[in-house]
């Protein structure tokens, strides 16, 4: 069970990083600051700018990559754990 959890967390983090690298490019080609994606807007104007820029969609895509990595890591960990028990 330890391998399952370890691989799920590790590949979940890898999925988040890959998702950020794929989806967090701004209009000018630069990456959006991580804190801008994580923190809510401080006022109505900032919230409007983030809505127009599509931050919610970017955030969702990054989280889905992390979820995919977590599920994939858990499945790989289960396969490894179960194959180890069969060979004993």
Check: CB of residue 41 under 8 Å from CB of residue 47: yes
Q: How many whole angstroms separate alpha carbon 60 and alpha carbon 17?
A: 13
Q: How many whole angstroms separate alpha carbon 41 and alpha carbon 34?
A: 13
Region 19-29: mean pLDDT is 88
pLDDT above 90 (res 19): yes
Q: How many domains does the chain have?
A: 1
Q: How many whole angstroms separate alpha carbon 64 and alpha carbon 15?
A: 8
Q: Which residues form the domain of 39?
A: 2-86
What was the pLDDT predicted at 5? Answer: 93
What was the pLDDT predicted at 69? Answer: 96
Rounded to 5°, the CA angle 10-35-31 comes to 80
Q: Per residue in 31-71, pLDDT tens?
A: 988 888 888 778 888 888 888 878 889 999 999 999 999 99
13 vs 26 pLDDT, higher one: 13
């Amino acid at each position: 069970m330890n391998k399952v959890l370890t691989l799920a967390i590790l590949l979940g983090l890898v999925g988040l990083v890959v998702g950020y690298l794929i989806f967090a490019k701004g209009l000018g080609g630069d990456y959006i600051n991580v804190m801008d994606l994580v923190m809510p807007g401080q006022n109505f104007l900032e919230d409007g700018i983030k809505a127009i820029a599509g931050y919610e969609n970017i955030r969702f895509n990054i989280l889905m990559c992390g979820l995919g990595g977590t599920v994939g890591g858990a499945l790989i960990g289960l396969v490894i754990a179960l194959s180890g028990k069969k060979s004993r």
